[in-house]
């Protein structure tokens, strides 16, 4: 009997040690809106390559732009195409964050009405090991329309698959911004998002 108890405790220890427990979910840290902004006749929105982590600064915005293309109201310029066109016009894209004015300049080259700036961080020793920050900017006025920050809790294992966490955080941001674009497409503002992220099982909005 004692040997069975010891064996069960040993298996439980292995599960904790090697991450057999469920993975942590995304935590929405902040989602702020410019409530004074009046929805305009946007037609094209550009997603620029993100700043930050070298490994994820291109893959994360690609995942994000993929989610945004689930709506049909706005044309979405993908970060790969955006970078090619911007560099073709003699503007270099570095790992450093673009200023609002630099983002507006890049968006004008793409004939975009709005632009997404993003920063992705993936640090194994941090209060939020994975953190994604996004900003939606109106190109004409330079106004910040919405800012979004998503992070993971501090108990992520040091050997966990950070690419998967980055993907999940990016997809959560994509789902949230689908709601923003739907509100803007309907010519009205949307209700504030909940303080915690939606379940990954939630259905996407494909009827915009």
Residue 208 in domain: no
User: Considering the domain boundaries, does residue 191 fall inside one?
Assistant: no
Which of 121, 203, 100 is closest to 170 using CA atoms?
Answer: 121
- 6 lies in a domain? no
In a domain, 146, yes or no: yes
Give the range of the structural domain holding residue 39, as residue numbers without chain letter. 33-185
Q: Does some domain include residue 58?
A: yes
In a domain, 204, yes or no: no
In a domain, 24, yes or no: no
pLDDT at residue 185 in the model: 81
Our measurement of the distance from residue 198's CA atom to the centroid of its chain's CA atoms, rounded to an integer in Å, reads: 14
Residue 135 maps to a domain: yes
Q: What is the number of structural domains in the chain?
A: 1
The predicted structure's pLDDT at residue 24? 58
Whole-number pLDDT of residue 19: 44
Q: What is the pTM (predicted TM-score) of this model?
A: 0.77
Residue 191, pLDDT score: 56
For position 158, what pLDDT does the model report?
A: 55
Q: Domain holding 85: CATH number?
A: 3.40.50.10610
How confident is the chain (208 residues) per 10-residue block, as mean pLDDT?
Answer: 50 42 58 76 93 90 94 93 87 77 92 95 72 93 90 61 83 88 75 46 38
């Amino acid at each position: 009997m004692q040997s069975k108890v010891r064996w069960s405790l040993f298996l439980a220890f292995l599960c904790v040690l090697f991450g057999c427990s469920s993975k942590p979910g995304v935590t929405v840290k902040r989602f702020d809106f410019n409530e004074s902004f009046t929805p305009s006749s946007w037609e094209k929105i550009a997603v620029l390559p993100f700043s930050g982590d070298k490994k994820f600064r291109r893959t994360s915005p690609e995942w994000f732009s993929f989610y945004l293309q689930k709506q049909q109201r706005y044309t979405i310029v993908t970060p790969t195409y955006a970078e090619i066109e911007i560099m073709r016009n003699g503007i270099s894209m570095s790992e450093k964050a673009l200023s609002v004015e630099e983002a507006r300049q890049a968006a004008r080259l793409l004939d975009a009405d709005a632009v997404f700036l993003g920063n992705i961080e993936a640090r194994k020793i941090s209060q939020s090991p994975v953190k994604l920050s996004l900003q939606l900017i109106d190109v004409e006025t330079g106004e910040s329309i919405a800012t979004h920050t998503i992070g993971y809790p501090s108990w992520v294992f040091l050997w966990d698959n950070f690419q998967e966490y980055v993907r999940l955080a990016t997809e959560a941001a994509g789902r949230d911004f689908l709601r923003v674009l739907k509100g803007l497409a309907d010519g009205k503002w949307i209700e504030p998002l909940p303080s915690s992220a939606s379940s990954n099982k939630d259905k996407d909005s494909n009827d915009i």
